[in-house]
Amino acid sequence: MTTCLPETWVMAPLDSLGVWRGGGTPSKGNGAYWKGSIPWVSPKDMKVFRLKDALDHITEEALNDSAAKLIPENSVLVVTRSGILAHTFPVAINAVPVTVNQDLKALTPYAGIDAEFVAWVLHAFQREILDVCSKDGTTVHSIEMPRLQSFEIPIPPTNEQKRIVEKLEELFSKIDEGERCLSAIAPIANSALGLSTLLRHSILKQAFSGRLVAHDPNDEPAPVMLEKIKTSSQNHNKKNAKEVA
């Protein structure tokens, strides 16, 4: 989708943007595990962009006794194993801490990377992601994680990320309102919905090629910001290694 980016932007692999976590399923044989208050997200919950709850919940004990991990709020949740991956790559932001099952992965962005921006990019690039990252030769559609983590997306300066998210929400809210009004007019509803889909695609294309919002020369360039993230991450890993030793 993106060919020529502004000078302050950079293409970056997803694994450089934050910490990835997987999930797990506590024993279904222990009913007590499933009477808690911690949302346990599975693909069936991934139908909204901002996820505030899940159909299933687990306890702290279930979390400690299984492969499930607590995912911090404002992480990017993606479905990596499900039949829905035949045509759609579900993405969501968790508004509260959650756990996920083994069919999902979560990216918790580093400081300077806006989770909602990343989620919008993944939504916009879902066709490319499915084409490049789908695992071959499996009976259930799934994503090859090394391919997904190495998938590059456009990253603008931090403040510009936030401005783009705000503009997308403003424009898409207007489109949503227009769709609600037109849905009452049956004869033109289908053609109108088709046009709104094309409009959304056009807006996303502008957003992630640097043509949706104004650039601020005072913003720290994304390459500089990502280099700081890399250095901070390396120092953190070295500190942890010394503590373990």
pTM of the model: 0.90
In a shared domain, residues 103 and 151: yes
Task: Supply the CATH number for residue 22's domain.
Answer: 3.90.220.20
- Has residue 234 been placed in a domain? no
- Has residue 244 been placed in a domain? no
38-41/56-58 β-pairing:
antiparallel
Span 122-130, average pLDDT:
97
Q: Quickly state the pLDDT bin for 243 (edges 50, 70, 90).
A: very low
- Has residue 35 been placed in a domain? yes
- Has residue 241 been placed in a domain? no
* C-beta neighbour count of 54 within 10 angstroms: 21
In a shared domain, residues 128 and 212: no
C-alpha to C-alpha distance for 136 and 108, rounded to whole angstroms = 27
- Has residue 225 been placed in a domain? no
- Has residue 132 been placed in a domain? yes
In a shared domain, residues 195 and 209: yes
C-alpha to C-alpha distance for 91 and 40, rounded to whole angstroms = 16
pLDDT of residue 22: 95
In a shared domain, residues 98 and 169: no
Of 101, 133, 155, the one marking the end of a domain is 155
In a shared domain, residues 42 and 137: yes
Write out pLDDT tens, residues 46-78. Answer: 999 999 999 999 999 999 999 999 999 999 999
In a shared domain, residues 76 and 195: no
Total domains in the fold of the chain: 2
In a shared domain, residues 112 and 212: no
Of 135, 155, 175, the one marking the end of a domain is 155
**193 has pLDDT over 70:** no
In a shared domain, residues 106 and 176: no
In a shared domain, residues 122 and 187: no
Write out pLDDT tens, residues 19-46. Answer: 999 999 999 999 999 999 999 999 999 9
In a shared domain, residues 9 and 74: yes
**241 has pLDDT over 90:** no
- Has residue 29 been placed in a domain? yes
The pLDDT > 90 percentage for the chain reads 80
In a shared domain, residues 149 and 165: no
Of 155, 175, 208, the one marking the end of a domain is 155
Span 7-16, average pLDDT:
97
C-alpha to C-alpha distance for 152 and 93, rounded to whole angstroms = 20
* Mean pLDDT for all residues in the chain: 91
In a shared domain, residues 117 and 166: no
Is 194 strand, coil or helix? helix
Interacting residues of 239 by C-beta distance below 8 A, sequence separation 6+? none
Write out pLDDT tens, residues 136-186. Answer: 877 789 999 999 999 999 999 999 999 999 999 999 999 888 877 777 665
- 39: domain range? 1-155
pLDDT of residue 232: 86
pLDDT of residue 245: 39
Q: What tokens appear for 111 in the block? A: 């400081």
Buried b (16+ CB within 10 A) or exposed e, 144-178: ebeebbebebbbbbbebbebbbeebeebbeeeeee
Q: What tokens appear for 104 in the block? A: 């999902």
Please name the amino acid found at residue 166.
E
- Has residue 227 been placed in a domain? no
